[in-house]
């Protein structure tokens, strides 16, 4: 049997919302997906990045009956720092929002855990990698709740750290870190 004959028709959504638009022209922001998390009330939150050659930021979008999607920029909370690319987001049963991010400035980066108790309107920040001697920390991943794994306090965090090399091809010398509470 040919592959075409085995294929099933695709199902599509009745409606599709545009969360953000960008472009490749000078000065435009390019967008990258991060993650989606649903709070205990069933409200979806979308974490994504926007950036270009000179800036980087993370944004959270949540549905808003009056405006379609409410956009919250996280960069405004930490002036002088670039935040992004977006990584992961999760909620605990008490509706606390957790997001993991990379903050960077002057060729140095750090992994931070962001915590919000007010649906992402404000965040507290905990530096997770500032004690490490290496300049570059990358690829953070946040433990997310499942039916088998309930987040009771803070979710665990996994990330890599190493030194910046020209071309960034020295991947095998990076270390991997896990922070479980």
Closest CA to 105 of 142, 177, 56, 60: 56
Residue 42 lies in a domain: yes
Residue 160 lies in a domain: yes
Residue 159 lies in a domain: yes
pTM listed for this prediction: 0.79
Residue 17 lies in a domain: no
Structural domain count of the chain: 1
Which residues form the domain of 143?
28-179
Residue 22 lies in a domain: no
Residue 117 lies in a domain: yes
Write 145-149 long-range contacts (CB < 8 A, 24+): 145/90, 145/91, 145/92
Between CA 108 and CA 136 the distance in angstroms is 6
Closest CA to 75 of 61, 56, 62: 56
Between CA 11 and CA 14 the distance in angstroms is 9
pLDDT tens track for 5-55: 455 555 555 667 888 877 666 767 777 778 899 998 999 999 988 877 777
Q: The dihedral of CA 103, 105, 107, 110: what is its sign?
A: negative
pLDDT at residue 122 greater than cutoff 50: yes
Residue 4 lies in a domain: no
Three-class SS state of 5:
helix
pLDDT at residue 180 greater than cutoff 90: no
Query: CATH number, domain at 104?
Result: 2.120.10.10
Residue 11 lies in a domain: no
């Amino acid at each position: 049997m040919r592959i075409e004959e085995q294929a099933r028709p695709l199902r599509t959504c009745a409606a599709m919302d545009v969360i953000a638009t960008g472009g490749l022209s000078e000065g435009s922001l390019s967008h990258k997906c991060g993650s989606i998390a649903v709070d205990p009330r069933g409200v979806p939150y979308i974490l994504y990045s926007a950036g270009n050659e000179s800036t980087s930021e993370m944004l959270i979008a949540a549905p808003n009956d009056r405006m379609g999607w409410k956009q919250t920029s996280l960069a405004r909370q930490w002036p002088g720092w670039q935040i992004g690319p977006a990584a992961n987001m999760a909620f605990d049963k008490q509706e606390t929002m957790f997001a993991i991010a990379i903050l960077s400035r002057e060729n140095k980066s750090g992994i931070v855990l962001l915590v919000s108790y007010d649906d992402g309107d404000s965040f507290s920040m905990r530096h997770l990698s500032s004690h490490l001697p290496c300049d570059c920390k990358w690829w953070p991943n946040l433990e997310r709740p499942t039916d088998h794994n309930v987040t009771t306090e803070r979710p665990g965090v996994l990330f890599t750290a190493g030194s910046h090399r020209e071309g960034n091809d020295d991947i095998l010398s990076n270390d991997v870190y896990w922070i479980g509470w």
